[in-house]
């Protein structure tokens, strides 16, 4: 039985959708857990395959390998790291953000990177107690960062926002790699990766069904999620993905997020 773990719900669905609907036949179990737990379980042998964020991969101990053709990237606006604001952004030093749970570490890191490096803002972060964005809340707090699913849900509420994932892509002229499929260096079942590749092809062909299922328990209509998956995220091999990862790793190292410069290590099947 092959065990797969992941943390980013919606954007990972095309990769995993067919697998989760054919568990018995493929012999694969899939479980959603917090971001850094995905790394821990892969390193200690409790998972065989994991979809890791670049930050989780960067914190690995050197025994984790990337599957180069199974990465999820946003070529421009990922819409999952949104800075909502009213007034002149540069006049505010405080940003309110939802409680950053373990599964949002990478998105918070990228927000800090973009605001510091490209907007030259020294941010004082404050917790946001409210669940969903409202116009009156933004009037009161002025600048609010929302990430992940909460960013997706709030997107149509307020029109004044900066997509920080898009800013990163524009400033670096690179796609933003958001998830990478990884295995341990001891992994010896490449045929299971082929099952995931097949699952991805089936998922991409059935994005409408994925979006409709997701919309049943979330705020936006299925058309929004379908457009997001089909237009804002890509699942095919991109020649700049490795350069994107290396750029992110350099920022992580020089900002002290990791103690050494992470190396990109590719699984050779």
pLDDT tens for each residue of 45-95: 999 999 999 999 999 989 999 999 999 999 999 999 999 999 887 778 899
Residue 131, pLDDT score: 65
Residue 115, pLDDT score: 94
pTM for the full model?
Answer: 0.93
Supply the CATH number for residue 140's domain.
3.40.190.10
Question: Quick check: 49 and 4 in contact, CB under 8 A?
Answer: yes
Query: To the nearest whole percent, how much of the chain has pLDDT over 70?
Result: 95
Q: Is residue 261 part of a domain?
A: no
Q: How confident is the model at residue 105 (pLDDT cuts 50, 70, 90)?
A: confident
Question: Rounded to whole angstroms, how far apart are CA atoms 258 and 261?
Answer: 7
In a shared domain, residues 96 and 161: yes
Pick the more confident residue, 180 or 36: 180
Flag whether pLDDT at 264 surpasses 90: yes
Average pLDDT over residues 123-150: 88
Instruction: Pick the last residue of a domain from 118, 149, 172.
Output: 172
- Domain total of the chain: 2
Instruction: Pick the last residue of a domain from 118, 151, 172.
Output: 172
Q: Is residue 103 part of a domain?
A: yes
Angle at the Cα of 21 from the Cα atoms of 230 and 13, rounded to 5 degrees: 30
Average pLDDT over residues 176-200: 94
In a shared domain, residues 15 and 44: yes
Which element (helix H / strand E) includes 126? strand 124-128
Angle at the Cα of 9 from the Cα atoms of 63 and 267, rounded to 5 degrees: 25
Instruction: Pick the last residue of a domain from 145, 172, 199.
Output: 172
Residue 19, pLDDT score: 86
In a shared domain, residues 232 and 192: yes
In a shared domain, residues 58 and 181: yes
Residue 1, pLDDT score: 74
Domain range holding 122? 81-172
Q: Is residue 265 part of a domain?
A: no
Average pLDDT over residues 118-143: 87
Angle at the Cα of 67 from the Cα atoms of 226 and 76, rounded to 5 degrees: 40
């Amino acid at each position: 039985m092959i065990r797969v773990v992941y943390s980013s719900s919606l954007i990972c669905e095309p990769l995993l959708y067919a697998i989760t609907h054919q568990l018995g036949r493929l012999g694969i179990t899939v479980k959603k857990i917090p971001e850094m737990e995905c790394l821990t379980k892969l390193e200690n042998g409790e998972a065989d395959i994991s979809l890791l964020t670049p930050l989780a991969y960067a914190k690995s101990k050197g025994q984790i390998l990337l599957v180069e053709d199974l990465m999820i990237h946003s070529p421009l606006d990922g819409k999952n790291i949104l800075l909502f604001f009213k007034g002149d952004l540069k006049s505010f030093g405080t940003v309110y953000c939802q409680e950053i749970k373990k599964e949002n570490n990478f998105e918070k890191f990228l927000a800090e990177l973009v605001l510091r490096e490209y907007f030259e803002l020294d941010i004082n972060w404050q917790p946001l107690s409210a669940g969903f964005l409202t116009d009156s809340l933004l009037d009161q707090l002025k600048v609010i960062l929302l990430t992940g699913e909460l960013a997706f849900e709030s997107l149509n509420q307020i029109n004044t926002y900066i997509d920080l994932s898009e800013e990163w892509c524009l400033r670096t002229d690179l796609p933003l790699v958001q998830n990478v499929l990884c295995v341990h260096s001891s992994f010896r079942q490449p045929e299971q990766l082929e099952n995931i590749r097949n699952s991805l092809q089936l998922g991409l062909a059935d994005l409408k069904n994925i979006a409709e299922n997701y919309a049943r328990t979330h705020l936006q209509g299925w058309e929004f999620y379908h457009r997001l998956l089909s237009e804002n995220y890509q699942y095919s091999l991109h020649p700049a993905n490795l350069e994107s990862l290396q750029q992110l790793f350099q920022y992580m190292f020089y900002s002290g997020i990791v103690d050494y410069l992470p190396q990109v290590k590719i699984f050779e099947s």
